[in-house]
């Protein structure tokens, strides 16, 4: 009669997994809250361009918001499918970017242009919840201000926009 060794091997496997999981938590990975603010470059109306976050928004402090490079709107400047990127690290501190506590991020995002929104959040007057012009309040309304377009439903877009992809895409690589 053969003796089953499943109990001895089973324990070794469990210990091996525990050690492996513990090794992942020994400083290899660091968590941080980072907010990404997509901005628009409204060429035909410069007062509508950009909106770096200058007050806490959605529970994230101003030092954790990364106001990314403004993307063209296509109004008074080139449009079409646009890809931009930023590298953010512990020394980054210009143009709306804030330094990370450690490490670095390479952020790449693409869209069929960007635009600005008058949506002010649900604390504004219903039914439209908007504000006029570029009179946003610091914080959350600055984050709502810029958005990426899908190139299908509104705004300038090349003919190939409907053929290539109907979804705005952005990829975060850490």
pLDDT, one tens digit per residue, over 79-109 is 888 999 999 999 999 888 999 988 899 999 9
pLDDT of residue 20: 36
Q: ∠ at Cα 60 (57, 61), nearest 5°?
A: 90
Output the pLDDT for position 3.
52
For the chain, give the longest Cα–Cα distance.
86
The average confidence (pLDDT) of the chain is: 75
Q: How far is CA 121 from CA 28, 36, 62, 131, in A?
A: 38, 17, 18, 10
Cα–Cα distance, 171 to 106 (Å, whole number): 9
- For the segment 48-77, the average pLDDT, to the nearest whole number, is 92
Of the two residues 1 and 153, the one the predictor is more confident about is 153
Contact 146, 40 (CB under 8 A): yes
pLDDT of residue 15: 35
Pick from 77, 146, 71: nearest CA to 112: 71
% of the chain exceeding 90 in pLDDT: 36
What 3-state class would DSSP assign to 65?
strand
Identify whether the C-beta of residue 29 lies closer than 8 Å to the C-beta of residue 102: no
């Amino acid at each position: 009669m053969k003796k089953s060794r499943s109990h001895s091997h089973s324990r070794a496997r469990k210990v091996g997994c525990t050690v492996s999981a513990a090794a992942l938590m020994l400083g290899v990975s660091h968590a941080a809250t980072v907010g990404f603010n997509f901005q628009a470059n409204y060429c035909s109306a410069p007062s509508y361009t950009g909106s770096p976050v200058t007050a806490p928004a959605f529970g994230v402090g101003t030092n954790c918001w990364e106001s990314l490079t403004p993307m063209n709107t296509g109004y008074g400047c080139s449009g079409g499918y646009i890809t931009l990127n930023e590298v953010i690290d512990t020394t980054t501190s210009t143009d709306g970017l804030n330094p990370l506590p450690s490490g670095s991020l390479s952020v790449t995002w693409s869209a069929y242009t960007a635009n600005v929104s008058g949506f002010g959040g649900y604390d504004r007057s219903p039914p439209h919840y908007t504000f006029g012009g570029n009179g946003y309040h610091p914080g959350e309304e600055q984050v709502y201000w810029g958005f990426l377009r899908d190139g299908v439903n509104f705004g300038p877009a090349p003919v190939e926009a409907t053929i290539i992809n109907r979804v705005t895409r952005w990829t975060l690589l850490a």
